[in-house]
Structure 1
Amino acid sequence: MKDKNEEHTYLEINGSFKMRELDKSDLEQFNALLQYAFQVTTYDLFQTGWKQEEIKYAKRPILEEAYVLGWFYGEKLASMIVVYSMKINIYDEIMDMGGITGVATYPEYTGKGLIHSLMKHALNYIHEQEMPISFLYPYSIPFYRKMGWEIVSDKLSFTVKDTQLPKTRPVGGMVERVSLDSEDYHNVHSYFALQRHGCLIRDNLSWEEYWRWDNDDMIAAVYYNKEHKPLGYVVYYIANDIFHIKEMVYLNIEANYGLWNYISAHFSMIEQVQGDNYSGEPMAYLFEDSEITETISPYIMARIVNVRAFLEDYPYQIQPEDFKLHFKVHDEMAHWNEGDYMVSWHDGETICEQVADNQSINVVELDINTLTTMLMGYKRPSYLYEHEKLNTEYYMLTWLERLIPVEKPYFSDYF
């Protein structure tokens, strides 16, 4: 973020519209556009315990730590975009990630291509910062698909009646309620994130965004084993006879049982449990009474920003030294990705080179959307081939299925 005393540098000018990076002096306009676009009123925030000064400065860390671009009409902020510098677990490989959020425009300025140009500049920034992949929460899936982002994870919302709650299972430890800034609670997520493909590695800013706008009734409860080692947690609140789970994480099955024992102990206080599951796998099978309600919806989108870097760092399941694979990639939004990438392996290392586009064997032709969702494990190569999302010889599917790890991304954050 620029210092407010620096001279403004405009990245693009279009008539009366000028694009520049936001600074601290833009905080009031930044907050106003966010609240307008995402329909969060000051009254709503007062209702959840926020004070006027807290509302004013709540988003200040973003302006200090993130890259924020905006179109100004004269001196008025008309449209903006925010890029967080984050880290993500890709099959145990920790990669830098550009998290896009705060995409907003006042209605009187829509239809002028402001967001499209901001997205292009944001992509360029992410590429220049050597972040090979970007994530975002979509307000319109078709809109972001046109720019190369694709669905990579789902949210499974579930409802469990009080009569369907699991019976108590014997465990060696116990659950303790802790403060929301508990080190044990945060450490469990850190360990979990290092184990789960697709999980965000939360830093301080990520934790602030995780809790922003939540009500004061939120509770964190940690499961400790008999050695008092934290192995799981559930974050929740109770309202209108419903136990609402914001997040539930466990490092082993003992912690899973212990947390459900704790939830079931609220039997006399509640009529049902509601929550979201981000594992990509339905939960019904695990309940004795499996007739729980589960609904699935797409959640997060991602796009590879630097194909060569991503293919080179990607943790393939096998590394066949006598085999060369060609990805012929189409990417209209990020021109630097367009081309043929030859991937090979030698002495346990992956080599990726951009080569002349005239290969005829071991070629997989696809757009950036399909490449992203396939390598992230959300959709398998055979599925994508059957639905004509990629073009290749049939024998190549066996290679792709062997190369790409089998695990769906787990992404539960919102930013």
Structure 2
Amino acid sequence: MEKADKYIEVNGDFKMRKLTENDLEQFNGLLRYAFQITMEDLLHTGWTEDQIMHAKMPILKNAYVLGWFYHDKLASMIVVYSMKVNIHDYICKMGGVTGVATYPEYTGRGLIHSLIKQAIRHMHKEGQSISFLYPYSIPLYRKHGWEIISDKITFTIKDTQLPKVKPVTGMMERVELDREDLLNVHDYFSMQRHGAMIRDEMAWDEYWRWDNDDIIAAIYYNKNHKPLGYLIYYIRNDIFHIKEMVYLNTEASHGIWNYISAHHSMVNEVKGNNFSGEPMAFMFEDSEIVENIEPYFMARIIDVQDFILKYPFLDKSQKIKINFKITDSIAKWNNGVFKVYWNEEETYCEKTDDLHAANLVEIDIQTLTTMFMGYKRPTFLYECGRINTEYYMLRILEQLIPVEKPYFSDYF
């Protein structure tokens, strides 16, 4: 355990250091204050006060938690989880940023800015070439290099609009939340879905942490009792709430929707979230369902050179060298021109000083991230003024970058 007196930065009476298990009470206090969580709210989940107090202890043990202290009082903090995410079938180390908070009396001192800069340095040192976060302020995180990379589409379906039952040979089975089959289905799903997080034990703990006792899990098994999908849900006030729906093939999708439709006499409507980036209405016979779209997670490339070297470009037979001129106001190692080319399916990326190279693509770190993640296409970004290049380069970029929007359904 790192000693509490080992400071990373000192600024007058303010000192930056990593938090330890001894800081648990202050850590919980700032979280509750900043995110307006009361003890009463938490007790409604069925937890005891002692359980609530120690629920976040694993974070202080396993995550990188950094804070500014005014004398001995925690004033501001940031948390970085060590995670993994699927980027076009490449499993990438990812720094999950959360818990960014400051007490109001300490705002306006640049505390958050300096914490973010240090967190980025930490992720770079740890080889986490990309970072994800859920933004409480999109402009703030754009300023620090993150950009939107996924959407959340919230849907509401009336009981009369639920799909008709379609014949399947398998069946749904309600199971315990820790059923190994459920975890295995998500593992298989996330390994073949661009943008999906690879959930380890800590990620699953965060996934379940504050759920009420009425949460239910059900798995779809085919006729050979092979798990092919699952549904996490609860029913409250005549509404069927879908927390998560995962399926590996069409049969499992039909089986899950058959199961939901079987509740039609118990509920008035079904509510849930869709993270695929595509509306669901087309799938229903009665397509007049309500869908609301909003930006969800943001990401930022931490190490451009490492990310590009491992990125699964589509057409590596290209006989061209692309020069990405990148600007990054925080991570200085990302500033400059990166020459990218391919030889026999291998990607090369070299940093150069040639600011006037041919095939130049001028782009900031935010735009580079959302483009490589597939959330927005190169042509769209060019038309928005986010990319400066010759028009012929757009065709090349379109051929190189896979066409698939990220699927990210987690929250931390």
Q: Please classify the TM superposition score into its range, dividing by the shorter chain length.
A: over 0.9
Residues 105-150 of structure 1 deviation map (CA, whole Å, 9 limit, x = unaligned)? 1111111111000000000000011111000000000000000000
Q: How does 1:337-356 map to 2 (within 5 A)?
A: 337-356=334-353
AA in 2 matched with 1:191 = Y
Question: Do residues 211 (structure 1) and 208 (structure 2) align?
Answer: yes
SS at match of 1:70: strand
Q: 1:89 aligns with which of 76, 86, 90?
A: 86
1:15 to partner: Cα distance: 1.3
Paired with 2:145 and 2:233, the residues of 1 have a C-alpha distance of 35
* Counterpart Cα distance in 2 of 1:48 and 1:360: 59
1:297 aligns with 2:297: no
Displacement of 1:164 after TM fit?
A: 0.1
How far apart are the structure 2 equivalents of 1:379 and 1:390?
12
Which residue pairs with 1:189 in the alignment?
Answer: 186
Q: Aligned residue for 1:52? A: 49
Distance (Å, rounded) in 2 between the aligned partners of 1:256 and 1:98: 32
Pair 1:176 & 2:173 matched: yes
1:157-211 deviation per Cα after TM superposition (whole angstroms, max 9, x unaligned): 0000000000000001000001111101111100000000000000000001111
Matches within 5 A, 1:255-266: 255-266=252-263
* Matched residue type, 2:280: M
Q: Which residue identity lines up with residue 319 of structure 2 in the other structure?
A: D
What is the rounded CA distance, in whole Å, between the counterparts of 1:92 and 1:405 in structure 2? 11
Which secondary structure does the structure 1 equivalent of 2:396 belong to?
helix
TM-score by length of 2: 0.99
What amino acid is the match of 1:361? A
Query: Is 1:162 the counterpart of 2:147 in the alignment?
Result: no
Residue in structure 2 matching 1:130, options 127, 130, 141: 127
Partner of 2:243: 246
Distance in 1 between residues matched to 2:236 and 2:244, nearest whole Å: 16
Aligned to 2:322: 325
Q: Secondary structure at the match of 1:10?
A: coil
The unaligned stretches of length 5 or more in structure 2 are none
Q: What percentage of aligned pairs have identical amino acids?
A: 65
SS at match of 2:8: strand
Secondary structure at the aligned position of 1:260 is classed as: helix
Q: Name the stretch that deviates more: 208-217 or 403-412.
A: 208-217
* Structure 2 counterparts to residues 272-287 of structure 1, below 5 A: 272-287=269-284
Q: Does 1:98 align with 2:91?
A: no
Matched, 1:68 2:47: no
- The whole-number CA distance in structure 2 between the counterparts of 1:290 and 1:68 is 46
Report if aligned partners of 2:164, 2:258 keep a CA contact under 8 Å in 1: yes
Distance in 1 between the 2:103 and 2:130 partners?
Answer: 28
Distance across 2 between alignment mates of 1:67 and 1:326: 34
Q: Following the alignment from structure 2 to structure 1, what is the Cα–Cα distance between the partners of residues 359 and 250? A: 42
Cα distance in structure 2, aligned partners of 1:289 and 1:167: 10
**Hey, what's the Cα distance between the residues in 1 that align with 2:377 and 2:233?**
34
**Match of residue 35 from structure 2:** 38
1:373 aligns with 2:370: yes
1:124 aligned partner, one-letter code: R
Secondary structure of 2:354 counterpart: coil
8 Å Cα contact 2:317-2:344 kept in structure 1: no
Relative to structure 1, the CA distance from residue 7 to residue 233 in structure 2 (aligned partners, 3 Å threshold; closer, same or farther) is: closer
Q: Note the aligned Cα RMSD (angstroms).
A: 0.8
Q: What is the alpha-carbon distance in structure 1 between the residues aligned to residue 319 and residue 333 of structure 2?
A: 28
Per-residue Cα deviation, 1:244-279 (whole angstroms, up to 9, x for no partner)? 000000000000000000000000000000000000
Cα distance in 1 for residues equivalent to 2:355 and 2:331: 21
Aligned residues of 2:4 and 2:19 also touching (Cα < 8 A):
no
Q: Which residue of 208, 221, 226 corresponds with 1:229?
A: 226
Measure, in 2, the Cα distance between the counterparts of 1:350 and 1:389: 25
Q: One-letter code of the match for 1:52?
A: E
C-alpha separation between the residues in 1 aligned to 2:310 and 2:182?
31
Code of the residue aligned with 1:169 in structure 2: it is: K
**2:45–2:210 Cα contact (<8 Å) kept:** yes
2:303 corresponds in structure 1 to 306
Query: In 1, are the aligned partners of 2:75 and 2:103 still within 8 Å (CA)?
Result: yes
Q: TM-score, normalised by structure 1?
A: 0.98
**One-letter code aligned to 1:314:** Y
| Cα distance in 2, alignment partners of residues 176 and 247 from structure 1 | 16
Name the amino acid aligned to 1:217: D
Shift of 1:48: 1.3
User: Which whole-Å CA distance do the structure 2 matches of 1:185 and 1:51 have between them?
Assistant: 27
Q: CA deviation at 1:321?
A: 4.8
Q: What is the CA deviation profile of residues 366-405 of structure 1, one whole-angstrom value per residue up to 9, with x for unaligned ones?
A: 1000000000000000000111110000000100000000
